[in-house]
């Protein structure tokens, strides 16, 4: 690569970029093309792609705009992990690469493929619309601009981190439920919904929540934490998901939306055992066949990585807890613990 | 496509505010927003610092009048004072309006919107949301537009206005997903396509798409460009990418060092050293490089911003973002090594000439945001005034177009005309006789601009620059688009953006060469002082038969007389 070097300290490496190719006009199915270039320290995956596009093959198509990790355009899978090409250093990827010297670049998953590394973002925008991912202000439009709402630092901090989201869809690409069910709300949309729900300026908290507890909504999430682990802005997405669930139970109770089958299962676990038995939840909501096909392989992985509570027989019944609120608190605590053990 | 009342080109802060306001002004209108990227990707998201408004939350004695004066002085008296009045008096209202719609502003102890000091401002009046102000404003506007049901044509690349006589009939644009060129007949068009500082390419802090498309579209349609020679440089861009290392790094005590190991700012600003004003520090770095005291690399010369003496603890606690950025984009950890930097083109003060209602000279065509020049920034923009500009004038554009759309006939673009545009666009670009490489031309354009039309300008350099641009334009006629596919042809899009940059570069160089004085961001070595007698006026660049023709326009004065600009 002709890009800059400090000769006195930087070496160079030959790197093969194995790039996913698909042009819907001519290809019946996708394939990979290899491009080998010399890369020195300090070069990002995006700069390498730009170099290949400019010097070797101009037909490779990918999105990029700010080149500064803020616009969210360049989400793609680099050696299997969804991330931003513009903030990912080639040498860092190489250090972890299973095949030495090879970097595999693929489009994000769970969104329709358009061409090469470009996927269609419209389904995500449609979900943002469906779940009213905006503030519907308690202030009528005609009185806006005259005075500020007074908002405490404490409230600001509740949504501060969530507003870091750049809609890059890395989490969407990694979400395990979306792989099985494209209609699932999506982690980024849950995050945004939560951000709106905890904002005191918003007037449609209840309506939004009602939508979130329906089919394909918040109860479908399996707590696999993949979204949070892949978030390019390190946003604690699971806090948002837990937040919405707590809210749903507290404010709506177990009403009759079809999605609340999941919620009922959830609650009966709490009542019986005092603890959430996450492992059995998907079976009761989605049926055994679906669960076996879609979740079992993942569940095994999750248990190995200690992401899931142990299977039912190992969950002890909580003694002496009768009042729902207390059980609920314990459940929340459990989830938090789970969450904490993850972060380590 | 059925005719629209208003077509807005651009989904940044200016375009989205225009859309919202137009719908509010007249809900029965048929409005569309076109954007070459999803609106939330627009470059407005990159603004970290904040937006100015004399809310008086932090400094109780702040006033709109003080904001007006700071802006006029900052502009080196080239801003139009009536336009600055509008900008600053609307500011508190627009910031509160955003707040009322959900923008997550950081807060003061008394729970009002937080404000902080910013360069060139007499009072702390910059409203912010952590270091992501532009991002959160853009999110809010996008969310509100989705709520209102604004019709978006995302990933549509605008090519040209359709012009009949003295007015526009609508817009021609390419759908990136299909490669189809489509007509958008419209009564009115609002151009809100952002800045052109990316023409300096890897010597620019801007997004890859800040290529001045809207300006070039207007320019080709015969609309004049105003004050194009004024381009703001930021002193510390990363060497490889041009991305900004914010002033905070120097604020915490970072040193600027040349290849002889000297803290060279001692030569230029003995007292303030690294913390002198932005333009002065930029000029100092450039001087060091020009006089051979920079470090060498194949990508050009650079200097060191050294933080190593600050120690790991301070860097980790106070400058974590800067550290992360250096590691991600340059592969350098500032705890162990100095950061390679050089000045970078940051903001375009010039743009499409408009009046205070955002009207251009062409009936039915409006412009707002960084692509327009009202002018509120004159020869130098103050930090925090640009977000304000796009919001205030974006809103005015939406309002004015909505009020005036009824005056104009419905747009109408014939099939034959559409064909002509397609021909013009692709004209032979795939032919084998076309051998010029896009990347080379773009690289050379950036280099000649940085060298000859950069921070320091001089007659002989500018002559070189103008020649180089002319040659590049000639070579561009034989540019090759190797990707022949229709779906998402980013190769074609980049080439079309280069064409726009070449057209505009010519106006920047022409303005810079005509303006024989130094004012604001425009520094002529051969004319080092401001010359109010000859040059207290705007330049206008109009395209006539394919060539730049320069004209001028008086500056609107008001309550403030010309003064020397000292800080
Ligand atoms: C690193 C950085 C930091 C900054 N910090 C600050 C700050 O702290 N405070 C401040 O006030 N200002 C700041 N600025 C300046 C400010 O961010 C910009 O001036 C402002 O955001 C421009 O907004 P806009 O709406 O005019 O254009 P943009 O946000 O650039 O939007 C342009 C829109 O036009 C669309 N478009 C362009 N060409 C076409 C085409 N051919 N077809 C279709 N659509 C097209 C794009 O898709 C995009 O949606 C900063 C700028 C930079 C680069
Ligand atoms: S935790 Fe839930 S939202 Fe996140 S990836 Fe797993 S299933 Fe998807
Ligand atoms: S939550 Fe994180 S990973 Fe998901 S879209 Fe937002 S920034 Fe990207
Ligand atoms: S290009 Fe904007 S986030 Fe990577």
User: How far is residue B84's CA from residue A311's CA, in Å, rounded to a whole number?
Assistant: 67
A135: chain B residues, CB-CB within 8 Å = 101-102, 140, 143-144
Interface contact B93, partner A, CB < 8 A: yes
DSSP character at residue B389: H
pLDDT for the residue numbered A297: 41
Interface of B with A in 272-291 (CB under 8 A): none
B427-529 under CATH 1.20.58.100, yes or no: yes
pLDDT value of position A117: 98
Has residue A339 got a pLDDT over 90?
no
Fold of A12-118: Ubiquitin-like (UB roll) (3.10.20)
CATH topology of domain B235-346: Flavocytochrome C3; Chain A, domain 1 (3.90.700)
Using CA positions, which residue lies closest to atom 6 of ligand 3?
A165
DSSP codes joined into one string, B436-458: B-HHHHHHHHHHHHHHHSSSEE-
CA distance A254 to chain B (A): 29
Instruction: Give the confidence band of B331 by pLDDT, cuts at 50, 70, 90.
Output: confident
Q: Find out whether A21 and A72 touch, Cβ atoms under 8 Å.
A: no
Q: What is the pLDDT of residue A305?
A: 42
What pLDDT score does A285 carry? 52
- Residues of B labelled as active-site residues: 278
Q: How would you classify the pairing of strands A12-21 and A102-106?
A: parallel
Question: Mean of the per-residue pLDDT values for chain A?
Answer: 81
Confidence at A249, pLDDT banded by 50, 70, 90: confident
pLDDT of the residue at A299? 41
User: A310: distance to nearest CA of chain B, Å?
Assistant: 38
- How far is A67 from A73, CA to CA, in rounded Å? 9
* CB atoms A199 and B93 under 8 Å: no
Confidence band for B531, pLDDT divided at 50, 70 and 90 = very high
Look at residue A311 in the predicted model and tell me its pLDDT: 41
The pLDDT of residue A337 = 55
Do B163 and B222 contact (CB within 8 A), yes or no? yes
Where does ligand 4 bind, in terms of residues with CB under 6 Å?
Answer: A 64-67, 69-74, 84, 86
Tell whether A58 lies on the interface with B, counting CB pairs under 8 A: yes
CA B501 to chain centre: 13
The ipTM assigned to this model is 0.93
pLDDT exceeds cutoff 60 at B436: yes
> How much is the pLDDT for A10?
57
- pLDDT at position A333 is 55
**Mean model confidence pLDDT for chain B:** 94
What was the pLDDT predicted at A252? Answer: 64
What Cα–Cα distance (Å) separates residue B152 from each residue in A343, B39, B181, B215?
40, 9, 17, 21
Q: Is the pLDDT of residue A266 over 90?
A: no
Option in A65, A137, A149 nearest B37 (CB): A65
Pairing of strands A102-106, A75-78: antiparallel
Numbered ranges of CATH 3.10.20.30 in chain A: 12-118
pTM of the model: 0.90
CB B224 within 8 Å of CB B542: yes
With bands split at pLDDT 50, 70 and 90, how would you rate the model's confidence at B558? very high
Please indicate if any CB of chain A lies within 8 Å of the CB of B486.
yes
How would residue B251 be classed by pLDDT, with cut points 50, 70 and 90?
confident
User: pLDDT digit string (tens) for A43-96?
Assistant: 999 999 999 999 999 999 999 999 999 999 999 999 999 999 999 999 999 999
Atom of ligand 2 nearest to the CA of A177: 7
Interface touch B37/A128, C-beta < 8 Å: no
- pLDDT tens, A125-175? 999 999 999 999 999 999 999 999 999 999 999 999 999 999 999 999 999
Q: Which atom of ligand 1 is nearest to the CA of B138?
A: 29
Q: How does pLDDT run across A193-220, given as a tens digit for each residue?
A: 999 999 999 999 999 999 999 999 999 9
Counting ligands in written order, which one lies closest to the CA of residue B243? 1
Interface of A with B in 266-295 (CB under 8 A): none
| Comma-separated ranges of CATH 1.10.1060.10 domains in chain A | 121-254
Tell me the average pLDDT across A15-29.
97
Helices A237-247 & A324-343 angle (0-180, nearest 10)? 170
Mark yes or no for CB contact B239/A23 under 8 Å.
Answer: no
To 5 degrees, how large is the angle CA A104–CA A166–CA B107?
Answer: 150
Question: What distance in Å separates residue B127's CA from the closest CA in chain A?
Answer: 13
In contact, A112 and A67? CB cutoff 8 Å: no
% of chain B exceeding 90 in pLDDT: 83
Report yes or no: A178 and A138 within 8 Å, Cβ to Cβ.
no
pLDDT in tens, B253-308: 899 999 999 999 999 988 888 887 777 889 999 999 999 999 998 778 999 999 99
* Residues β-bridged to residue B363: B167
Query: Residue B327: is it exposed, middle or buried by C-beta count within 10 angstroms (0-12/13-18/19+)?
Result: middle
d(Cα B352, Cα A328) in Å, to the nearest integer? Answer: 61
Model confidence pLDDT, tens digit, residues B65-114: 999 999 999 999 999 999 999 999 999 999 999 999 999 999 999 999 99
Name the CATH architecture for the domain at A121-254.
Orthogonal Bundle (1.10)
State the CATH architecture for B4-47+133-230+349-407: 3-Layer(bba) Sandwich (3.50)
Predicted pLDDT of residue A317:
42
- What digits encode the pLDDT tens for the residues A284-329? 555 554 444 444 444 443 344 444 444 443 334 444 334 444 544 5
Residue B294 phi/psi, 5° resolution? -95, 170
Give the domain ranges of chain B.
4-47+133-230+349-407, 235-346, 427-529
């Amino acid at each position: 690569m002709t890009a800059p070097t400090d000769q006195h300290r930087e070496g160079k490496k030959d790197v093969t970029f194995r790039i996913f190719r698909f042009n819907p006009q001519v290809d019946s199915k996708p394939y990979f093309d290899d491009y080998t270039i010399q890369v020195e320290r300090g070069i990002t995956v995006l700069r390498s792609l730009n170099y290949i596009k400019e010097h070797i093959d101009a037909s490779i198509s990918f999105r990029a705009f700010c080149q500064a990790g803020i616009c969210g355009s360049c989400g793609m899978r680099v050696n299997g992990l969804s991330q931003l090409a513009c903030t990912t250093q080639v040498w860092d990827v190489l250090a972890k690469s299973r095949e030495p010297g090879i970097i595999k670049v693929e489009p994000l998953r769970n969104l329709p493929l358009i061409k090469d590394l470009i996927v269609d973002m419209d389904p995500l925008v449609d979900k943002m619309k469906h779940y009213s991912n905006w503030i519907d202000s308690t202030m009528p439009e005609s009185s806006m601009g005259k005075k500020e709402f007074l908002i405490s630092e404490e409230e600001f901090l509740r949504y501060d981190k969530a507003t870091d989201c750049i809609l890059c869809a890395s989490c969407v690409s990694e979400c395990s439920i979306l792989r099985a069910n494209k209609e699932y709300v999506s982690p980024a949309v849950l995050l945004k919904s939560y951000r709106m729900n905890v904002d005191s300026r918003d007037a449609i908290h209840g309506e939004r929540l009602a939508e979130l507890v329906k089919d394909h909504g918040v109860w479908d999430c399996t707590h696999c934490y993949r979204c949070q682990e892949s978030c390019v802005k390190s946003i604690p997405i699971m806090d948002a998901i837990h937040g919405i669930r707590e809210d749903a139970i507290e404010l709506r109770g177990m009403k009759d939306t079809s999605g609340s089958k999941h919620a009922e299962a959830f609650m009966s676990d709490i009542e019986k055992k005092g603890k959430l038995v996450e492992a059995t939840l998907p079976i009761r909501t989605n049926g055994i066949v679906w669960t076996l096909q879609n979740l079992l392989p993942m569940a095994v992985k999750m248990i190995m990585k200690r992401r899931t509570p142990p299977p039912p027989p190992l969950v002890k019944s909580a003694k002496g807890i009768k009042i729902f609120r207390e059980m609920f608190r314990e459940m929340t605590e459990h989830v938090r613990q789970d969450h904490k053990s993850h972060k380590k | 496509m059925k005719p629209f009342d208003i077509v807005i080109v651009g989904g940044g802060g200016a375009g989205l505010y225009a859309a919202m306001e137009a719908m509010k002004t007249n809900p029965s209108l048929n409005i569309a927003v076109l954007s070459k990227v999803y609106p939330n990707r627009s470059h407005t998201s990159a603004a970290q610092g904040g937006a100015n408004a004399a809310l008086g939350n932090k400094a109780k004695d702040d006033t709109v009048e003080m904001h007006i004066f700071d802006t006029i002085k900052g502009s080196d008296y080239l801003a139009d004072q009536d336009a600055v009045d509008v900008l600053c008096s609307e500011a508190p209202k627009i910031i509160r309006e955003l707040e009322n719609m959900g923008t997550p502003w950081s807060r003061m102890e008394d729970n009002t919107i937080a404000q902080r000091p910013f360069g060139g401002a007499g009072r702390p009046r910059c409203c912010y949301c952590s270091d992501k102000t532009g991002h959160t404003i853009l999110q809010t506007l996008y969310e509100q537009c989705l709520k209102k049901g604004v019709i978006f044509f995302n990933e549509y690349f605008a090519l040209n206005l359709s012009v009949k006589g003295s007015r526009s009939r609508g817009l021609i644009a390419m759908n990136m997903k299909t490669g189809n060129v489509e007509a958008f007949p419209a009564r009115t068009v609002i151009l809100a396509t952002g800045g052109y500082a990316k023409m300096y390419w890897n010597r620019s802090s801007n997004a890859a798409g800040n290529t001045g498309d809207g300006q070039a579209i207007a320019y080709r349609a015969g609309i004049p460009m105003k004050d194009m020679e004024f381009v703001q440089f930021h002193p510390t861009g990363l060497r490889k990418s041009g991305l900004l290392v914010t002033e905070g790094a120097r604020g915490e005590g970072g040193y600027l060092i040349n290849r002889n190991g000297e803290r060279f700012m001692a030569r230029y600003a003995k007292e303030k050293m690294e913390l002198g004003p932005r333009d002065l520090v930029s000029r100092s770095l450039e001087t060091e490089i020009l006089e051979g005291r920079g470090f060498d690399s194949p990508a050009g010369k650079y200097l060191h911003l050294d933080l190593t003496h600050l120690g790991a603890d301070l860097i980790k606690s106070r400058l974590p973002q800067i550290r992360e950025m250096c590691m991600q984009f340059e592969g350098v950890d500032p705890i162990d090594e100095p950061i390679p930097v050089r000045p970078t083109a940051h903001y375009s003060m010039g743009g499409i000439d408009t009046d205070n209602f955002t009207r251009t000279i062409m009936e039915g065509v409006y412009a707002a945001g960084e692509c327009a020049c009202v002018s509120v920034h004159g020869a130098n923009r103050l930090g925090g005034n640009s977000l304000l500009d796009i919001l205030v004038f974006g809103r005015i554009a939406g309002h004015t177009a909505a009020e005036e759309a009824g005056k104009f006939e419905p747009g109408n673009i014939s099939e034959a005309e559409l064909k002509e545009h397609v021909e013009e666009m692709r004209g032979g670009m795939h032919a084998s006789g076309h051998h010029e490489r896009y990347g080379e031309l773009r690289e050379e354009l950036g280099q000649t601009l940085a060298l000859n039309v950069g921070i320091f300008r001089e007659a002989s350099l500018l002559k070189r620059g103008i020649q180089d641009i002319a040659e590049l334009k000639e070579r561009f006629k034989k540019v090759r688009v190797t990707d022949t596919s229709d779906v998402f042809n980013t190769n074609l899009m980049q080439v079309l953006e280069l064409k726009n940059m070449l057209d505009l570069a010519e106006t920047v160089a022409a303005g810079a060469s005509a303006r024989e004085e130094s004012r604001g961001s425009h520094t002529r070595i051969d004319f080092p002082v401001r010359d109010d007698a000859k040059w207290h006026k705007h330049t206008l660049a109009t395209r006539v038969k394919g060539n730049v023709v320069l004209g001028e326009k008086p500056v609107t004065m008001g309550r403030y007389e010309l003064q020397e600009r000292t800080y």
